[in-house]
Each structure stands twice: as structure tokens, then as C-alpha cells.
Chains A and B, each alone.
Chain A
Amino acid sequence: MAIDTVTLAPQAPPGPLLAFWHAFRENRGAVVGLAVVAVIVLTAIFANVLAPHNPIEQFRGFSKMPPFWQEGSDPRFLLGTDALGRDMLSRIMYGARVSLFIGLSVMAVSMVFGIAFGLASAWFGGIIDVVIIRVMDLIMSIPGLVLAILIIAVIGPNLTNTIIAVTVVYLPRYVRLVRASALAELTRDYVTASKVAGVRPWRLMTVTVLPNCLAPLIVQAALGMSDAILEAAALGFLGLGAQPPTPEWGSMLADTRDLMSSHPWVMAFPGIAILITVLSINLVGDGLRDALDPRLRRS
């Protein structure tokens, strides 16, 4: 089918998706990042198949085992075990689930509220605009981690509340972005034409205007996801995120601080997992920006 199309219409410009892929492919780092993200996503999805052990099962007599390249290691525990005898490899694999779940949830919720508030702010203007923008300014005036800590202090530490807290912290970015691009689009001729043609406000905002605001929003979503993962891990590290025995990378790190000098690997692995995940998502985000922003693409 694809071959037919090519032979029949060799002059036709590539479809938008293909054009996007060609632009994205130019950034080698982004492609590598995408590959790593794919591996992490697959690991997270199939953690129950891939992980050699249950992440919360404690193997008595096998605590603080070293990773496979060190002496005294056990082939059943490739990356060693933590102080309670839980398999590190399995915990890290399941941890990918937790972190990606947090990242995706924060992104999805922020997108929905960001688009809703941003469009409302741009369309209605007046008092609604002022209130929304003031609230967003307030959120941004409190440093991110401090605000998240404040919210957690009120609603209590657990996985859901981590998502809520991090979402609130990053929401202003989405709202301001949607509002700014929607305001710019509203002045364009095609919007005026649609208005004259009698398109209702709801349809005008969602079907006519919104798709034209998506490019920067997609980039923000990618970068926002990595920020969310990092922030959630920081909360976990402070003991204010997902609670034990959830295999969350940040809290895994905090659990192992006492073992730092005697068993450094227990501490090293969760951090490496966080760094690789966040870095590869950021690489993809950079690639998306280069591919979606024509201003930067020319260079």
C-alpha cells in the first residue's frame, strides 16, 4: 500500500507525521533518547514478567548482597539486595512503573486543566482571566519543592497526593502557555473568518484554535514529564512521596543512606535509574522542540 502511494504520486509532499519524523530524526540525541524511553516503558509495562523476583519480597539471609561483578554475589540477585533482602533489580524495574505512572498522570492532568484554564482565560478575558493568572502567579511565587512539601503536609504523604502536589506545582506553565498561544491565535484572520461564519465559541476554541496551540504544548508536556518524575523522586527521597514498601526510586535512595559507605551500590542504582529516565525524556523533549518549532528547524 505504501509503495503504491509512492509510485503513483512521487511528487506529493510527505504527510505531516512523516515530515515530523524526518525533522525529529535529524537530532541524533533525540533518537537515542526515544529508544531509551521505549526500553524503560517496556520494562515498566512488563515488569511482572521481566523482574526475577517480587519487589517487596524479603529474602532472609540474603540482605545487602553485592551486585554480580563483585565477590560474594549471588546470580539470583544480579544487582544485589537492599538491607531488607529485597532484590534491587526487581525493585528498579517496578520502580519504572511508579515513576512513569507519576510522570504520565501529572502530564495528563496538567494538560487537561492547563488547556481548560488557558482557553477559558484567553476566551473570556476580564475578571476570569485576571483571577486565573493571579492564582498561577501565586503558585509560581512559591518555590516548587517548598509548595509541594506544603501541600503534602496538609493532605498527607502517599502516591496519589504526590501526583496532586506535583501537578499543582507545574500547572501554571501549561496554563500560561495555552493562554499565550490562544491569545496569539485569536487575532488571526482564520479565527475571525470562523467567527463570521457563525462558529460557536466552544467549537471555535476546541476545534479551530486549540490544534494550532498544540506544538509548544507537546514540547512542554515532554519536559514537564521529566520535571514531574524528578520532583516526585525528590519528595520520595524526603520521605514525603510514595510510602514503603512501594518500590519508588526516590524513597529507595533514602532507605539506603545508612548503607552508603559499606554498600554503595544499593544507593547508586536507583539514582542512575532516575538520571537515565529523566535525561532520555529531556532528550526527546529537545528533539520535539527542534522538530515542531519551525523557527529553530531552519538552523
Chain B
Amino acid sequence: MIRFLLKRLALTLPTFFALMFVTFMLIRLVPGDPIEVRLGERGISPERHALLRKEMGLDQPIWKQFADYVWGLLQGDFGISTISKTPVIHEFLTLFPATIELAFCAMLFAIVLGVPAGVIAASKRGGVYDQSMMGLALTGYSMPIFWWGLMLILLMSNTLHLTPVSGRIDPIKFYFPQVTGFMLIDTLLSGQKGAFTDAVRHLILPTIVLGTIPLGVIARMTRSSMLEVLEEDYVRTARAKGLPVRRVIGLHALRNALIPVVTVIGLQTGTLLAGAVLTETIFAWPGVGKWLVESIGRRDYPALQGGIMLISMVVIIVNLIVELLYGLINPRIRHGH
């Protein structure tokens, strides 16, 4: 297991390095003067231009600049945002809990609905339930979520007045210090009446929207994996022994069927953490996805550079953990190539 772990870790190192190179190049490929691009200022005097050039190390040879950039990254220096003038890492860490909270709820939503839907569809294969469930799953998988989100706002918020339109909490009614950055925890800690409920109500629509595609993927995956397992000999044996169908499906089959599903869930989590871009934009959710899109609009390239670096690092690490867990469950992967 240790060898497997070290091998996987070694494989991610070149990826990390290449990622640094790509984000390093990004800021140099953007059309326009590098100083103006990075500082967001226009028409600065030649003297100040030269001074800034020296200050930012742009007069150094390119390999030296790259080495400095990598050295900075290793020390946690992800650049300074040109708009807020604060370190990118600080902005990222302030916003990231909001994204994690949303992604976690969306994943929970997708698993809680997707796995049972897939299991039931597989056990009633070919029936009306199976067909309509898989039709729905494919629809979810094909959903343009930005449109889905707007339609849900239209129905749930504007017409039925059930849920709020945007944000994480009603800032007029509730005010409390940020402790963890997770609204669900902070509202509980604050002890204010109704704050927690309000946070939950704000979470409902974004959770559904972000969870829709993973829900489709998980339901389809569970069904096909379940169908495969149900044809195995041990399942037939269990049935022949006269065990109740529910026990055979729920205990014997599901356990093995879930192995590939767990992988899919893990890989989807990585995508979700970053894929929240659209959902956060629609619901004005103050997370990293919305921040990245806004950085483009504001031409805040250091924020874009650092943000992409940080998000990709998170995704790489999550995927690595998933793979290690998978190796833990399934020895064939670990001892294979």
C-alpha cells in the first residue's frame, strides 16, 4: 500500500509542476502591457513603468522569473489581487468555505436521491419505473444548469415565494461574526433565532441546481453497476438460499455495486468544487467560482492566476485521495499496474 501511495504521489508531481508553468504563462500570454495588465493602471509614466518593471522582477530572464514564481508558490505566495490589493490566498480562503458548503450539500442531495433511484431502477429493470427514472436521470445529466437555476428561481422564488433568490443569508435580519465560514455552523454558533433556518432556505435552490448533473450521473452509474452485480453467481446463490429479495439487493449486491459508484462520487466532488462557477453566478453565492468569473470581468489577472492554481490543486488532491481510497477498497487496482 505504501508503494502504491508513493507511486501515485510521484505521478502527481509533474502535473503540479506543469500546472505552475501554465498559470505562470497565462499572465504573460494575455494581450497588452504586462505592467498595466497586472496593476490594472493605465497611462503610467515611463519612470514609474521602469521602476515597477524592476520591482516585479520583469527585467529578469524568463527562467529566473519562473523560478521565483515557483519559489513563491512553495511559500504560499499566490500573488496579490490588483483590485482588492490583498493576497490572493486570503481571498480564496475567505470564499472557499462557501463553495465547500454548497458542493457538500449538492453531493449529499445527489447521493441520497441518486443511489436509491439507481438501485430501484435496476431491481425493476425494464419496467415503467426503470424507464421513467432513467429518462429523468438522462435529462438531469443533459441539463443546462444555468437555465435550470433561473427557472427554479422563477418558480420557487418569484411565483411561489418559497425560497430566497440569492445570497447565503438575509444580511438585514441577521448579523454575526464569521467563525468557520460555513454558514450552517456559524448560524448555529451565533444562537440567533431563525438564522439557521434562513441559511438552509438560502441553500435549497443552489443545492438542487448544482446537484442535478451529479444526481443523473450517480443514478445511471448505480443502476448499471447494480445490474452487473445482480448477474453474479453469489447473488444467485443468495437468492437460491431463499433470502428475501430486499436483503439480497440491499446487502449482498449493493455493497459490491457501490465500489464504482464511490469512485464516480469522488471524481464528481472535485468537479463540483470548481463547477460551482455557474451556480454561484446565478445565485450570487459568494464562493470561489463566482469570484473567478468576476476576476475575468475586472481583468484581475493575479487573482485569476492564483485562483486557478488553488482550485486545480484542490481538485488534484481530491482525485488523489479518491484513487487512494479506491486502492484501499479494491486490491486489484493496488497490485495492478
Residues of A within 8 A of B (CB): 29, 134-135, 137-138, 141-146, 149-150, 152-154, 156, 226, 230, 233-234, 237-240, 250, 253, 257, 260-261, 264, 267-268, 270-271, 274-275, 278-279, 282-283, 286, 299
User: Judging by beta carbons under 8 Å apart, are B142 and A282 in contact?
Assistant: yes
Given A143-B270, A260-B153, A237 and B146 contact (CB-CB distance below 8 Å):
yes
Find chain A residues with CB under 8 A from B210 CB.
Answer: none
Q: How far is the CA of A264 from the CA of B150 in the complex (A)?
A: 10
Size of the chain B interface, CB-CB below 8 angstroms: 45
Q: A279 to B227, Cβ gap below 8 A?
A: no
Does B24 interact with chain A (Cβ within 8 Å)? no
Contact of B316 with A278 in the complex, beta carbons under 8 Å: no
**Would A261 and B158 count as touching, CB distance under 8 A?**
yes
CB neighbours (8 Å) of A143 from chain B are: 270-271, 273-275, 311-312, 315
A233 to B147, CA, bound (A): 10
Chain A residue nearest to B157 (CB atoms) is A261
Interfacial chain A residues near B148, Cβ < 8 Å: 271
Bound CA span A279–B147, Å:
14
Give the interface of B toward A (CB within 8 A): 14-15, 18-19, 22, 26, 29-31, 135, 138-139, 141-144, 146-148, 150-151, 153-154, 158, 227, 270-271, 273-275, 277-278, 281, 292-293, 296-297, 301, 304, 308, 311-312, 315-316, 319
The answer to whether B18 touches A234 (Cβ under 8 A) is no
Chain B residues with Cβ below 8 Å from A138 are 15, 18-19, 22
Q: Are B158 and A145 in contact (CB under 8 A)?
A: no
In the complex, what residue of chain B is closest to A296 when comparing beta carbons? B224
Which of A145, A239, A271 is B277 in contact with, Cβ under 8 Å? A145
Distance of A274 Cα from B273 Cα, bound (Å):
24
Tell me if A233 and B144 are in contact (CB < 8 A): yes
Mostly, the B contact residues are helix
Majority SS at the chain A contact face = helix
A261–B299 Cα distance when bound, in Å, is 31
Q: Which residues of B contact A253 (CB under 8 A)?
A: 144, 146-147, 150
Task: Specify the chain B residue showing the minimal Cβ separation from A254.
Answer: B146
Complex formed: what's the CA distance from A250 to B312 in Å? 26
A250 CA to B278 CA, complexed, in Å: 12
Instruction: Check if A282 sits within 8 Å of B292, measured CB to CB.
Output: no
When distances are taken between beta carbons in the complex, the residues of chain B under 8 Å from A274 are 144, 147
Which of B138, B227, B278 touches A282 (beta carbons < 8 Å)? Answer: B138
